[in-house]
Structure 1
C-alpha cells in the first residue's frame, strides 16, 4: 500500500503505515519537513524531489529516504493502492 503523507496528518499516517508490512510512504508537500528520527520503520520511504528542493532540506531527511520526481510518483500511484494523508 502507498501512503501519501503531508505534514498535517503525518502522525496518523505514520501509525497506519507502521501496521502495514508492505508499506511505501511518500512524503509530499510540507511532509518533507519530517526528520529522519520521525520516519516510521517501513520498507520504503520516498520524498518528492521538487518539494525537498523548494524547501532546501535534503540533508534533514537522511539516507533512508529516496528522492523521486513526479514521473516516478505517478508510476507509484498507478501501481499501488493509495491511502492519502495529505
Structure 2
C-alpha cells in the first residue's frame, strides 16, 4: 500500500477518519460533537478534536471561528460547512 500511495496505512486511516467527520458534518446537521466523533470512528470527542487539529492546524472551535470571520476561509462559508 505504501508503494502505491506514498504513505503508510496508519496515516491513510487517519485521513479517512477526518474525511468521515467532514462527510458526517455535511450530511447530519443535528448530531452532537460526541455522537459525531463516535460515528466517525473515534473513541470520543477529544481524540476527534486532536485529529482535526492535526489535519488542519486549527482546533474545531478555532476553525469554525475562522470560517465565520476571516477572508481566506470564504470557500467554507459559500459551501455552508462547519466542523
More strand by share: 1
Where relative contact order (Cα < 8 A, 6+ residues apart) is larger, the structure is 1
Which has more helix, going by share of residues? 2
With structure 1 as the length reference, what TM-score do the two structures score? 0.27
Tell me the TM-score normalized by structure 2.
0.27
